[in-house]
Structures are given as C-alpha cells and as structure tokens.
Amino acid sequence: MAYETRDSPTISLDYVRKAIPLLTQDLESANDQGKKMQTLYLLSEYSRRLGNSADSMRYFEKLKSTDPKDGLTGFKDYLLNTAAEQRNPDSSLDHPNPEKPQAKP
C-alpha cells in the first residue's frame, strides 16, 4: 500500500503514482488468490484517486469477476464493499457485495 498523509494530498498522490507499477508487477506474479484480489482492489482504488476511471473500472471488474476459492468469499465481499464505500461514502454497509444485497435477519 502507498503511504498517505492528510497533511499533504499532493505527497499522498505522488506515493500512489509510484505504487501503481509495483502493484502491477505484484498482480502479474501473484500466485495467492487473496493477494491477487487485494492487489486488484488497490489498483482500482489508486487509479480512481488519480482520476483514471477506465483503469479503475477495469481492475474493479476483474475483482468482481474473481471466483474466490479456499474460503475467500468473505474477503472478496469485504474488498467489494470497501470499494463501494470509497466510490460512494453514503453506501450501505448492509450489503457486503453491492451486486447481491442480502436480506436483513
């Protein structure tokens, strides 16, 4: 993850820019599905912060289309929910997967 500071959004974005190529390398070499999903989330979020909507949506769609294995469904839902909150801070936490709202008990 890139270093971020509230004191200087400019410095934070500089670190985000520097993280993108490293994350891209991580994505290409990721053997662990959890690491791959996390990297897709970060690439989507960092691209969004930099104003690269097309790249952001491309990584987000790849994350959404990932078929989680080995009990990683909850982690995928968490990443999708976090991405939805970043895009819309007023989004509901009641729906861990924005594509599949769940009934409340």
- Whether 28 shows a pLDDT value over 70: the answer reads yes
Alpha-carbon span 39 to 27, nearest angstrom: 6
Domain span holding position 49: 9-87
For residues 26 and 49, the answer to whether their CB atoms sit within 8 Å is: no
92 falls within a domain: no
Higher pLDDT, 96 or 69: 69
Number of domains in the chain: 1
Which tokens hold the place of 52?
Answer: 């690269």
78 falls within a domain: yes
104 falls within a domain: no
Higher pLDDT, 85 or 93: 85
Higher pLDDT, 102 or 48: 48
98 falls within a domain: no
51 falls within a domain: yes
Q: What tens digit of pLDDT does each residue of 35-91 get?
A: 999 999 999 999 999 999 999 999 999 999 999 988 999 999 999 999 988 888 775
- Whether 4 shows a pLDDT value over 70: the answer reads no
Find, among 1, 3, 26, 27, the residue nearest to 14 by Cα. Answer: 3
